[in-house]
Amino acid sequence: MRRVRTMAEEVVRCAWLTKDPIYIKYHDEEWGKPEYNSQRLFEMLCLEGQQAGLSWLTILKKREAYQRLFFEFDPYKIVKLEYSDVFENMIKDEPGVPGLVKHKRKIESILNNAKCYARMENEGEDFSKFIWSFVNHKPIVNRWETNDQIPSQTSISASLALSLKAKGFKYVGSTTCYAFMQACGLVNDHLTTCISYNKCS
């Protein structure tokens, strides 16, 4: 008797993914899709900085709290905040509701980066065009078959990190920048067997 495969059995995703529904939704709907909106790019750069030393799933679960406290990552509203404003809201976290990563320097980096973003834009430099210029405004499509082939950083992410640091941004090391590039589709690092590979190519 021929065994009929279910749809669930046919779905193949990137090998690094867990079975957490939040992670799967993020992978299927966001990760690796080219993002050109400057404010969204700013949000992802800041969130990747918050991840340092933690899992990305941890940050995903706290994402709504970050969006709420930082005005959906509107840099022009963030620049009006002081650390004390954010701290007051941090200590009001409801039991059982994921809040921010309570790391003073990481929180301060968001306030700092918003000022850097605003300065760039006020000087006529579009943030999205600046970010995408590092890949010549076109996604780099890789053809990885296994996880161990995927780099944690590249010469491009190192160059992006140096440029961002020169503009005053913080928590933007080369590894962080590469994770940011992967998340926002500057590079397509879905495995070739993943259902999302062709969607992002």
Binding residues for Zn(2+): 14, 27, 190, 194
Binding residues are 14, 27, 190, 194
Q: Which two tokens stand for residue 6?
A: 């279910």
Catalytic residue among 31, 35, 43, 48: 48
Produce one character per residue of 124-159: b if its CB has 16 or more CB atoms within 10 Å, e if not.
eeebbebbbebbeeebeebebeeeeebeebeebbee
Unique residue bearing structure tokens 């579009």 = 126
∠ CA 181-183-185, nearest 5°, is 65
Measured from the Cβ of residue 42, the count of other Cβ atoms closer than 10 Å reads: 23
Catalytic residue among 26, 30, 108, 121: 26
- 48 is a catalytic site residue: yes
What does the alpha-carbon distance between residue 56 and residue 54 come to, in Å, rounded to a whole number?
Answer: 7
- 16 is a catalytic site residue: no
- 56 is a catalytic site residue: yes
Q: Which residues are catalytic?
A: 26, 48, 56
